[in-house]
Structure 1
Amino acid sequence: MPENHHDSERTGPAPPAEQPPAAVGTPGNPLRLTDPRMMRALAHPARIAIWQFLGLEGPATATECAEVAGLSPSACSYHLRTLAQYGFVEEDLASAADGRQRPWRVRVVAFSMPEGADTTAAMRDAARLLAESVHASVEELREGYHDRELEYPGRWREALGATHDVVHATPEELTTLRGRLIEVVGEYRRLSRDERPPAARRVYVRTDLIPWFEPDAGE
């Protein structure tokens, strides 16, 4: 006969409800790019700027995106259509203030690029091109800050800036460290405006784990 377990016989807290998996293309589940054409499509500097703007401030029209990317609205529309072709953005007519507007919204806000032995030469070349384009946009942002650093309030200058350090860890420990860093940064990501304190401002965060040893010493 089956056993009956009454509520009074249970001990300890109830197990936590299982959380649904994060949607593909979100920070909790980045989209893994494997199509070289898709990576090359995003690698264009103007498209990176448009994609970032929509992810942080969208939905927005082509005219609004054009101001950020330094393009004409017609040129920006071309880049938006290209991004939409590869699934990075899509039209969001539901957010239009009237029937004449054609807002766009981002579909993918986080991605990862292929690594390892299972990648093809075309994938590696496209991934490197995209990585270099993203790096160039970050360097432009960094140099712009240094050019105008003294214009920023002192309390911001004290909080900003790079931190350099070194760790001695195993691959497994580095994986754990990376996960912890992502978790901590995620607490302050606040992609929704409603989550941001009034004094919050956007700050780019970059964490780069670079091997400081020769390849043959990595076993």
Structure 2
Amino acid sequence: MDQRREITDPQALRALAHPIRLKLLELLTVDGPATGRKLADRVGESTASVSYHVAQLAKWGLVEPAAELARGRERPWRATSRGLTWSVTGDGSPEFAAASRALREQFIANRLGVLEEFQRYQHEFDAAWQEASWVGEDIGYLDPAELIEATERIKAVISSYTDPERPRTAGSRRVAFFGYAVPTREGEG
């Protein structure tokens, strides 16, 4: 599986900017190959709905059949990359900028949903998980090159823990990482 795939087609960005498709892609990326039925159970949708959304992901090369894992009528799918990247501006067209913004907005909404769910159900986690969780922020002055360097270093650290080949330890559970690094409109240095 490729590490990251860059999406350069605005139609692909638009196709992916759908909450069910993002969730299906996340499940296939993090948890590995799964059938439409299993995915439907995980996202609370009908198998027909999931089949449609998986077909849209396949159309853009984001998922593919895992034919070697097929058993009888069960046809599993797998993600084709470990993650996605896309440009904010792409080809410079208004269509690309709008599609990029739509995907980013949906992506952020999904991640904030995970944080809100943790806040709501934090009391259900044992004390060790409550203490291990982290929400923080910091602000500093960087130029574009420094921002690129900082984000690459952060991504490398997270990637070392989220690599699908990394063995799971006893007591591990799925952990969602989410961060951002954007310039603000104030304080030009």
Match of 1:210 in 2: 182
Structure with bigger strand share is 2
2:24 is aligned with 1:50? yes
Matched with 2:60 is 86
**C-alpha distance in 1, partners of 2:68/2:10?**
32
Partners of 2:129 and 2:161 lie apart in 1 by 16
Q: CA deviation at 1:62?
A: 0.2
| 1:72 aligns to 2:53 (yes or no) | no
Structure 1, residues 23-52: CA drift from partner, whole Å, max 9, x if none?
Answer: 7x51xxx32222111011111111111110
Q: State whether residues 54 and 60 of structure 1, in contact with CA within 8 Å, keep that contact through their aligned partners in structure 2.
A: yes
Structure 1 residue 118, shift from structure 2 partner: 4.3
Q: 1:166 aligns with which of 116, 136, 139?
A: 139
- SS of the residue corresponding to residue 115 of structure 1 reads coil
SS in 2 for 1:32: strand
Take 1:181 and 1:171, find their aligned partners in 2: how far apart are those partners?
Answer: 15
Instruction: Provide structure 1 residue ranges, at least 5 long, that are not aligned to the other structure.
Output: 1-22
Counterpart of 1:95 (choices 41, 64, 69) is: 69
Alpha-carbon distance in structure 2 between the residues aligned to 1:89 and 1:57: 13
Q: Distance in 1 between matches of 2:180 and 2:8?
A: 22
Question: Structure 1 stretches (4+) deviating beyond 4 angstroms?
Answer: none
Q: CA deviation digits over 1:115-149, x for unaligned, max 9?
A: 34842110110011111111111121111111111
For residues 83 and 63 of structure 1, the distance between their equivalents in structure 2, rounded to whole angstroms, comes to: 16
Q: Which amino acid aligns with 2:169?
A: P
Query: Which residue of 2 is the match for residue 199 of structure 1?
Result: 171
TM-score w.r.t. structure 1 length?
0.79
- The correspondence of residues 109-148 of structure 1 with structure 2, limited to 5 A, is 109-116=82-89, 118-148=91-121
Asked if the contact 1:49–1:68 (Cα under 8 Å) also holds between the matched residues in 2, the reply is: no
1 CA distance for matches of 2:16 and 2:139? 32
Count the aligned residue pairs.
189
Map Cα deviations across residues 133-177 of structure 1 (whole Å, 9 max, x no partner): 111111211111111111111111111131111222232222221
TM-score by length of 2: 0.91
Q: Which amino acid aligns with 1:94?
A: E
Distance verdict in 2 for CA 1:136–1:112, change over 3 Å:
same
